[in-house]
A and B are shown apart, each in its own frame.
Chain A
């Protein structure tokens, strides 16, 4: 799939991943020609099963691949017209892409405020602006304001909020969100996703959202890509994906008869257990 099927006006595109191939440790081929475009100011979601290469795609964009001995060996990644493939992560953060890694990864032995201040590490505009933005984050996540202890003692949902808040502190042009719903209760997932949607609408930040929870992700995203074993297999505007029979069956579930179990040959095995 060299050409993404999404038809976008080139001037709208903020980030464009063109046919990249990613290799870990010089031998393990993880991504086999992934292409995707992310339009400015929109939420785009990247869906797919475990091990499809979603997180790897995000790390290729954010440059964190290098910290895991991975490398983009083919293709290119352009952000605002400039190639950023295989750049150092700190440079990419400076350019305006901030990744919220899977599993939140907040700094547990620091307070909420210290975590937020670290989010603003690359900014040069001084203390007052940063304090202002900390208040802004607390506006989005009021419950963080009450937590004065160490971030490690926050609940899972609060940690996720802190991780997103920390990303906001960098004032990025684009946030890469890796599974914000992981380990959260359905109610919290709803809350967090609501805030993500609000964030995009109010600040105009572009969001690339990787999710297992396809139903929630497609609720807030405008475009979606679906990945399987290192390739994009399907893409389109949210409505097309939601109404697509295959997507419904594999990712959204539903009331329809599950016609494919026979094909997966799992029926027989299940019978043996019964």
Chain B
């Protein structure tokens, strides 16, 4: 029974971990191309989830229309955010920009609360809530979908950065902005694109989590959870972000197991990733895959 529980938790860990990985990837995307540590990453999930929720409930749109619409909205949102708030800050000290993202985070949380209230709202049933049995394990269909979607997104990211023209341009910008400009790449467009993609993909994660846990401001906590994932993987590594996400997801669930079975401390689930964060920073300050020359803030 107990080993079954352990196995179940590991599966949960992998599923949640891939979601962390996806959000971490979005975070790294912004960091790599614009050198901004985005503290408002969690709010992207929140805004995306609320938008989709509103489209599905208030506008009574079918999910398969609301979901792509949310994507389009977040794409525009990311571009506008970059153009209006962050573009004027290009060339300002990094710390100012980071402060602005903290401000944005608080601002968006407040706006979402004032529009949608402080209570968690359940998503209408899109997937059957009842868990399905996969190889003797109970898995929520929404989580199963999230796993598939996450893996697809990771594949798309890999393709995008390896083969697409814009992906190469983003890598060039991450390498050196002046070099990128000498090749005819508009750095401003790359920045806008980084924010847009990041907002869009984060929103997807937000919708998936919202479907399982309900939509509430707790979603933005995901943005904080992503920090250990990103730091473990190394701030500037996309692969590191995915692996970091998996590690944190697994760790959380294993901590829950250890806590529930033996330690009975309570809440180790939430804290464990941050303990690991501290330990990793002590042993490998640049994370598992990070570049040694990163300027840390």
Complex: how many Å from CA A108 to CA B220?
A: 37
Q: Which of B150-206 contact A (CB under 8 A)?
A: 165, 168-169, 171-172, 175-179, 181-186
Instruction: Let me know if B168 and A90 touch, CB within 8 A.
Output: no
Instruction: Let me know if A67 and B178 touch, CB within 8 A.
Output: yes
The distance from the CB of B203 to the nearest CB of chain A, in whole angstroms, is 29
Instruction: Let me know if B179 and A89 touch, CB within 8 A.
Output: no
Instruction: Let me know if B181 and A117 touch, CB within 8 A.
Output: no
B contact residues around A121 at 8 Å (CB): 165, 168-169, 183-185
With both beta carbons as reference points, the residue of chain B lying nearest to A89 in the complex is identified as B181
Instruction: Let me know if B171 and A64 touch, CB within 8 A.
Output: no
Instruction: Let me know if B172 and A107 touch, CB within 8 A.
Output: yes
Which of A67, A99, A109, A119 is close to B177, meaning CB atoms less than 8 Å apart?
A67
Complex: how many Å from CA A101 to CA B177?
A: 13
Taking residues whose C-beta sits less than 8 angstroms from the other chain, chain A's interface range is 20 to 34
Instruction: From known contacts A64-B178, A67-B177, A67-B178, infer whether A107 and B184 are also in contact, taking CB-CB under 8 Å.
Output: no
With both beta carbons as reference points, the residue of chain B lying nearest to A109 in the complex is identified as B175
The majority secondary structure among interface residues of chain B is helix
A contact residues around B179 at 8 Å (CB): 101, 105, 107
- Whether A198 is near chain B, meaning CB under 8 Å from some CB there, is no
Residue total for B at the interface (Cβ-Cβ under 8 A): 16
The distance from the CB of A6 to the nearest CB of chain B, in whole angstroms, is 27
Instruction: Let me know if B185 and A107 touch, CB within 8 A.
Output: no
Instruction: Let me know if B175 and A122 touch, CB within 8 A.
Output: no
Complex: how many Å from CA A121 to CA B181?
A: 11
Instruction: From known contacts A108-B175, A109-B171, infer whether A118 and B182 are also in contact, taking CB-CB under 8 Å.
Output: no
B contact residues around A89 at 8 Å (CB): 181-182, 184
Q: Which of A39-90 contact B (CB under 8 A)?
A: 62, 64, 67-68, 88-90
A contact residues around B184 at 8 Å (CB): 89-90, 93-94, 98, 121-122, 170
Complex: how many Å from CA A119 to CA B169?
A: 10
B contact residues around A62 at 8 Å (CB): 182
The distance from the CB of B161 to the nearest CB of chain A, in whole angstroms, is 10
Instruction: Let me know if B183 and A166 touch, CB within 8 A.
Output: yes
A contact residues around B178 at 8 Å (CB): 64, 67-68, 101, 105
> What per-residue 1/0 map shows which CB atoms of B73-96 lie under 8 Å from chain A?
000000000000000000000000
Which of B168, B177, B185 is close to A117, meaning CB atoms less than 8 Å apart?
B168
Q: List 30 A-B contacts (CB under 8 A).
A: A62-B182, A67-B178, A67-B181, A89-B181, A89-B182, A90-B185, A93-B183, A98-B184, A101-B178, A101-B182, A105-B176, A105-B178, A107-B172, A107-B179, A110-B168, A110-B172, A110-B175, A114-B168, A118-B168, A118-B169, A118-B183, A118-B185, A121-B165, A121-B168, A121-B183, A121-B184, A121-B185, A122-B184, A170-B183, A170-B184
Interface residues of B (CB under 8 A from A): 165, 168-169, 171-172, 175-179, 181-186
With A89-B184, A101-B179, A118-B168 given, name 6 new contacts (CB 8 A): A64-B182, A93-B183, A110-B175, A121-B165, A121-B169, A170-B183
